[in-house]
Structure 1
Amino acid sequence: MGQGYGFGKVILFGEHFVVHGVPSIASAISSKTTAIVEKKGGTGIEVVDERPEIPGYKKEKLEMQEDSDKRILEAVGINTDETGVKITLGGDLMAASGVGASAASCAAIARALSEEFSLGFDDEKINQIAYEGEKGYHGSPSGIDNTAATFGGLIWFIKGDPNIIEKMKIEKPLYIVMGNTGIVANTKAAVEGVKERKEKEPDKYNKIFEDAKNLIHDARKALEAGDVEKVGKLMDENHRLLQEIEVSSPELDMLVSLAKENGALGAKMTGGGLGGYMYALAPDQDIQERIAKVMGDKQFQVIKATVGG
């Protein structure tokens, strides 16, 4: 029996833009997906998915999950026509859009396979395999989700050949609240939609992408300087740019407004958009609690997390 894990994540800045070479900043969160892999008699793949979920998520993602699992096993070099494999998924990370659930499961499965088949993969190799698995969910993933899921911590990421990955350090912890719209989003469709619109309106989109690039460099400086007020303002601006490229949703915008009305320094959608999660930055733990309570009182599922520090 092999065991593995992958961290959930929050993209602090740069989702969608990252697919097109703009930097992005992401942080792992403490919630994880776990995987147990066992060789079994016969052939094929058996998956037992015991992760907590937003209603409808697993059903909606089932075909993508099957494609992803096949890609992972192929990348690892296991032929399930010869060796049967049972995968059991669990952990405390909600299976939902926007929190890196697919990447967390890919990293967890890769680690568990490495252990069960005595392959001795290091984190770099686990990350490569998780990226192959992510293709089943996202078509052409940026690579940031699987990188956060594998390595943890706070990450500066630029997609390229090769990817640029830098660990960031911030002295002062950030208190965040992640609010879930309850909508299962299709990241693949969101990414493809941006690509199509960018091709149709290159001048408009190139300006937005240039603004995003400048903003994210400013965000890194503000984070490393511990200037949380500036970080909050840049979050608001990043959300506005995401609205402009049409990947937010009325539910995300409502949660962003709700957080701001209750003391958030800034708030924005996170991840693929069109549903899934947003996150808000609180100046302290008391305001973090207040924002989480207001969202919870309105029946939204909430994650409280600390980034850095």
Structure 2
Amino acid sequence: MEVKARAPGKIILAGEHAVVHGSTAVAACIDLYTYVSLRFPSDSDDDDTLKLVLKDMELNFSWSVTRIKATLSHLGSPFPSTPTTCSMEVIKSIAVLVDEQNIPEAKIGLSSGATAFLWLYTSIIGFKPATVVVTSDLPLGAGLGSSAAFCVSLTAALLGSLNSVHLDKNHQGWLTYGESDLDLLNKWAFEGEKIIHGKPSGLDNTVSTYGNIIKFRSGNMTCIKSNMPLKMLITNTKVGRNTRALVAGVSERSMRHPDAMSSVFNAVDSISKELSTIIESPTPDDLSITEKEERLEELMEMNQGLLQCMGVSHSSIETVLRTTLKFKLASKLTGAGGGGCALTLLPTLLSATVVEKVTTELETCGFQCLIAGIGGTGVEVCFGGLS
């Protein structure tokens, strides 16, 4: 049997950094996906191997199931309906299995993903041979939720192989999980994210699981439904950044200038709330869409100015802003800043020629350009031969 799953990446439309200081943030899924296929060998194959193939990374992992069982025998039977945090003791045991794979130094950052894989697989499936193949539209480490999309799509495929979830396995094409199964899936994916990131907020995996657009404040998440088509040009500057250091820098600036930064955070909160109101409001005609897009552009520009006030922009981001402004397009950084990615709103009536020109100019700067629809469906699964 083969199970396939896909989970979307995410962007922060408004509120990054300020959300740490009590402001509202708005995140959305994008129609760029991580795909996982899960195939179990037939009984006649006499295969005792668990394989993880990261196609885009050109990395193949292979473990003897007997070896995994010997290392993690204290886990006992799988417990798919009980999402559980991986203890430090078990992480150390799994790290031994991962270290045996001799990951090249340049790709050593992927070891935490392999650790999350082994935890999720053995917890949900147990000690069984299989081949898991992963491909992705999402660049790694660019702030687009690639690790969450991996954990969500992997969990979806694993749970989809069981009889305990409510899915029509004879259905042709992509299927969505029911609400209770999505909740279970999201909790497991969050456990994988914790292995990779330590103390994630849970926002990335929640957006990838449920899709649409999510308003987030002080740990509370509210799903909102978009009533307008939204398309973004996502520019990956390919400049790496230290998220922890950027977050700490904003906090230090806030301590030095408490009144000024409090005003900045309050302004960001207002921007996030107004942005979500615009997206949610009914759009009866093209004129209304154009008016709403113009308001969103102004809010994006204001949010970017406030992010500059926080000290988290970067020369590469400023290059994107200058380039897109030539074409009268509004942009802002998304995520941690200090490099990473920038968003540019592509209005509905914008010609393909302009999109091509701005993309070409940005790529000439050495950047990667991706075009994505915003706020679609979350994780999906399918059975059989869908390509």
Q: Same fold (TM over 0.5)?
A: yes
- Decide whether aligned partners of structure 1 residues 52 and 69 sit closer, same or farther in structure 2, where only a CA change above 3 A counts: closer
Letter in 2 for 1:87: V
Letter in 2 for 1:49: L
Q: Which of residues 192, 212, 224 in structure 2 aligns to 1:167?
A: 224
- Matched residue SS, 1:37: strand
Q: Which of residues 350, 355, 358 in structure 2 aligns to 1:291?
A: 358
| Aligned counterpart, 2:90 | none
Q: CA RMSD in A?
A: 3.1
Letter in 2 for 1:166: C
2:53 and 2:151 mapped to 1: Cα distance?
14
| Aligned counterpart, 1:229 | 294
| Aligned counterpart, 1:267 | 331
1:66 and 1:190 mapped to 2: Cα distance?
27
Deviation at 1:252, TM superposition (A): 1.4
Deviation at 1:78, TM superposition (A): 5.5
Deviation at 1:300, TM superposition (A): 1.8
| Aligned counterpart, 1:281 | 345
Who wins on radius of gyration, i.e. which is larger? 2
Q: Which of residues 111, 131, 140 in structure 1 aligns to 2:199?
A: 140
| Aligned counterpart, 2:134 | 89
1:47 is aligned to 2:48: no
- Matched residue SS, 2:193: helix
Deviation at 1:77, TM superposition (A): 4.8
After TM superposition, list the pairs within 5 Å mapping 1:118-267 onto structure 2: 118-120=163-165, 122-160=181-219, 163-171=220-228, 173-195=229-251, 198=254, 202-225=258-281, 226=289, 227-264=292-329, 266-267=330-331
1:154 and 1:205 mapped to 2: Cα distance?
27
1:59 is aligned to 2:115: no
Deviation at 1:201, TM superposition (A): 5.5
Gaps of 5+ in 1: none
Deviations 1:159-186 (A, max 9, x none): 42xx322222223x23321111012334
Decide whether the 8 Å contact of 2:15 with 2:268 is kept in 1: yes
- Decide whether aligned partners of structure 1 residues 132 and 273 sit closer, same or farther in structure 2, where only a CA change above 3 A counts: farther
- Decide whether aligned partners of structure 1 residues 85 and 14 sit closer, same or farther in structure 2, where only a CA change above 3 A counts: farther
Deviation at 1:51, TM superposition (A): 3.2
Deviation at 1:27, TM superposition (A): 2.1
- Decide whether aligned partners of structure 1 residues 189 and 65 sit closer, same or farther in structure 2, where only a CA change above 3 A counts: farther
Deviations 1:70-89 (A, max 9, x none): 55457x5566xx55665321
| Aligned counterpart, 2:145 | 100
TM-score for both structures, normalised by structure 1 = 0.81
1:181 and 1:167 mapped to 2: Cα distance?
29
Q: How many residue pairs get matched?
A: 298
- Matched residue SS, 1:5: strand
| Aligned counterpart, 1:15 | 16
Gaps of 5+ in 2: 42-46, 59-103, 166-179, 282-288, 377-387
1:278 and 1:140 mapped to 2: Cα distance?
24
Decide whether the 8 Å contact of 1:249 with 1:273 is kept in 2: yes
Decide whether the 8 Å contact of 1:33 with 1:51 is kept in 2: no
Deviations 1:217-240 (A, max 9, x none): 122233345422221111112112
Letter in 2 for 1:151: Y
Identity between Structure 1 and Structure 2 (%)? 30
Deviation at 1:52, TM superposition (A): 6.9
- Decide whether aligned partners of structure 1 residues 140 and 189 sit closer, same or farther in structure 2, where only a CA change above 3 A counts: farther
- Decide whether aligned partners of structure 1 residues 119 and 247 sit closer, same or farther in structure 2, where only a CA change above 3 A counts: farther
1:21 and 1:267 mapped to 2: Cα distance?
24
2:366 and 2:225 mapped to 1: Cα distance?
34
Letter in 1 for 2:223: E
- Decide whether aligned partners of structure 1 residues 213 and 102 sit closer, same or farther in structure 2, where only a CA change above 3 A counts: same
Q: Could you say which structure has the greater relative contact order, defined with CA pairs below 8 angstroms and 6 or more residues apart?
A: 2
Decide whether the 8 Å contact of 1:2 with 1:114 is kept in 2: no
- Matched residue SS, 1:90: strand
Decide whether the 8 Å contact of 2:212 with 2:223 is kept in 1: no
1:139 and 1:240 mapped to 2: Cα distance?
31
Deviation at 1:150, TM superposition (A): 1.4
Decide whether the 8 Å contact of 1:19 with 1:142 is kept in 2: no
